[in-house]
Amino acid sequence: MTRELIIDRRIDETGEALPLPNPAPVATEENSWLSYDDPQGKFHFRFPQEYRPGRPPDELSLELVRPRPGGPDTLEFQRIIKTGDAEADRMNRDPEFHLKMLKEEWRQNRYNVIPGPHAWLPEADWAASKRKVYRAESVLKGGRPPVKERSGSTTTSISSSSAGMRA
């Protein structure tokens, strides 16, 4: 059995053409960003549409990539789950622990790292989600990555909560 779905667009002469705005609207977060909803309903977020899915998402991570001439900008989100081990859970909620691990990975892969700003985001912006979010930015150049060449910038956001995300 074969099923085929044909979708097409036809110009209908019965109505008037929609007017185009002049000047064209300026893209803003409100009118142009896309939304990602986790299939399991654990989280969602909005992001600029120039980012595209990178490697296929799995249960614990998601990658978004923005192509650029000097190398892609990559956002990697990793879900941090409770392990039941109090010490491991405490370290998983500590952004400095994750930064230390990332810096060691970058050192081992011989990246030239240009550190950017690292700070907690304003609590008022995240109060509704009952999360604290730490954002760290770094630019990675060159290196010997284990899987694929990555240069450009990497943005890391670490959410501190039982269902937090690390990017």
Rounded to an integer, what distance in angstroms lies between the CA atom of residue 139 and that of residue 163?
27
- The pTM score is 0.58
What's the domain count of the chain? 1
Is 130 part of a structural domain of the chain? Answer: yes
Is 136 part of a structural domain of the chain? Answer: yes
Of 27-31, 39-43, 65-69, the least confident? 39-43
- Region 101-121: what's the mean pLDDT? 90
Is 23 part of a structural domain of the chain? Answer: no
Is the pLDDT at 145 greater than 60, yes or no?
no
The range of the structural domain enclosing residue 115 comes to 32-166
Place of tokens 């939304």: 35
Is 9 part of a structural domain of the chain? Answer: no
Confidence tier at 36 by pLDDT (50, 70, 90): confident
CB 167 within 8 A of CB 76: yes
What rounded mean pLDDT belongs to the chain? 79
Is 161 part of a structural domain of the chain? Answer: yes
**What CATH number has the domain bearing residue 76?**
3.40.1000
Is 91 part of a structural domain of the chain? Answer: yes
Burial class of residue 133 in the structure, from the number of CB atoms within 10 Å of its CB (0-12 exposed, 13-18 middle, 19+ buried): buried
